[in-house]
């Protein structure tokens, strides 16, 4: 019998893989090894991701929880839920197939992280932006290929975000790198920006003219899927009716606190107090 894989080794391997396949999340976590990449949502890449996650799940199951220190026992459960949550998203909730906002949010976050956070020299970050802009048509094509019957509300949010991205590329990126004096890099950025905006704008037109008029899908996951999603992603094991009761209770308590405070400010008119805030 082979000795069990050391749990810290598994964790390092898993995190390194996640950062490689989710470079935007890596950047936001302060890991800059993959800053020149955008996520790959093409079907072969998604299939490979799912297969690799299954492999990680099997490896994790082969690490005996009882033999781990108490802290690692807790971490084992957290990582196990994380792996299964990612598989659940790929197989069941399938945001990559139902929601153009998935792609819009990745693109917006990925570009903004390089422009806003001054963690590297301006020229280096500009080159990473250039690389991402050149990969944008590939990301948009993956969205076209994958997202077939999105709910109308998902289309609206996705379109709004994508329009914001085009504004960011056209207006804000030149401002973010205004002090660059590398004319070749600036020219490449301008060309790549034009191609990226064209790809995004074409997709927005497609969503609005071709997809939105026939959008009939529901955004609802159903109670079972939603409860499983909450268990895996948030660690909530309460049924949804109990969670709803808690939320309504807290809403009522907050509203009462607001009314009490408003009464002390202007004689008991909470709406007037809210408008003045």
Contact 190, 169 (CB under 8 A): no
Q: pLDDT class for 122, splitting at 50, 70, 90?
A: very high
Q: State residue 270's pLDDT score.
A: 64
Q: pLDDT class for 1, splitting at 50, 70, 90?
A: very low
Would you state the structure tokens that stand for residue 25, as one six-digit string?
A: 């999340």
Q: State residue 178's pLDDT score.
A: 87
Q: State residue 235's pLDDT score.
A: 81
Cα–Cα distance measured from residue 78 to residue 46, given in angstroms and rounded to the nearest whole number: 23
Distance of CA 188 to the CA centre of its chain: 28
Its sign, for the CA torsion 149, 154, 160, 163, is: negative
Cα–Cα distance measured from residue 238 to residue 230, given in angstroms and rounded to the nearest whole number: 9
What angle separates helix 7-21 from helix 43-61, to the nearest 10 degrees? Answer: 170
Cα–Cα distance measured from residue 110 to residue 30, given in angstroms and rounded to the nearest whole number: 13
Tell me the CB-side half-sphere exposure of residue 101, using CA atoms within 13 A.
Answer: 15
Cα–Cα distance measured from residue 126 to residue 178, given in angstroms and rounded to the nearest whole number: 11
Residue 176 vs residue 131, higher pLDDT: 131
Q: State residue 146's pLDDT score.
A: 97
Domain boundaries along the sequence of the chain: 7-214, 239-276
Distance of CA 123 to the CA centre of its chain: 26
pLDDT per position as a tens digit, 5-54? 999 999 999 999 999 999 999 999 999 999 999 999 999 999 999 999 99
The residue written with tokens 């792996």 in the block is 83
In three-state secondary structure terms, 15 is helix
pLDDT per position as a tens digit, 214-258? 988 888 888 888 888 888 888 888 888 888 899 999 999 998 887
> Of all helices (H) and strands (E), which one includes residue 88?
helix 70-88
Quick one: average pLDDT of 89-109? Answer: 95
Quick one: average pLDDT of 188-199? Answer: 96
Its sign, for the CA torsion 9, 11, 14, 16, is: negative
Contact 96, 46 (CB under 8 A): yes
The H helix count followed by the E strand count for the chain is: 13, 0
Quick one: average pLDDT of 189-215? Answer: 95
Residue 120, burial from CB neighbour count under 10 angstroms (0-12, 13-18, 19+): middle
CA nearest neighbour of 41 among 66, 21, 61? 21
Distance of CA 24 to the CA centre of its chain: 8
């Amino acid at each position: 019998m082979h000795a069990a894989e050391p749990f810290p080794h598994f964790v390092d391997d898993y995190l390194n893989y996640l950062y490689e396949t989710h470079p935007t999340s890596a950047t936001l976590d302060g890991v800059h090894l993959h800053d020149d990449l955008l996520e790959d949502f093409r079907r072969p890449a998604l299939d490979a991701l799912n297969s690799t996650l299954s492999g990680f799940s099997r490896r994790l199951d082969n690490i005996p929880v009882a033999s781990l220190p108490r802290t690692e026992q807790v971490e084992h459960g957290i990582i196990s839920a994380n792996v299964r949550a990612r598989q659940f998203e790929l197989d069941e909730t399938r945001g990559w197939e139902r929601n153009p906002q998935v792609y819009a949010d990745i693109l917006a976050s990925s570009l903004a992280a390089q422009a806003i956070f001054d963690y590297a020299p301006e020229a280096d970050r500009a080159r990473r932006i250039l690389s991402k802009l050149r990969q944008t048509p590939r990301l948009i094509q993956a969205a076209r290929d994958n997202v077939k019957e999105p709910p109308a509300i998902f289309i609206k949010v996705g379109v709004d975000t994508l329009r914001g991205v085009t504004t960011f590329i056209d207006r804000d990126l030149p401002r973010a790198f205004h002090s660059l004096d590398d004319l070749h890099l600036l020219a490449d950025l301008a060309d790549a920006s034009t191609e990226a905006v064209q790809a995004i704008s074409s997709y927005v037109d497609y969503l609005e003219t071709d997809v939105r008029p026939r959008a009939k899908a529901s955004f609802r996951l159903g109670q079972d899927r939603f409860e499983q999603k909450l268990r895996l992603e948030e660690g909530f094991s309460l049924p949804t009716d109990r969670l709803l009761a808690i939320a309504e209770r807290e809403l009522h308590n907050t509203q009462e606190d607001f009314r009490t405070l408003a009464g002390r400010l202007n004689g008991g008119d909470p709406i007037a107090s809210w408008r003045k805030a």
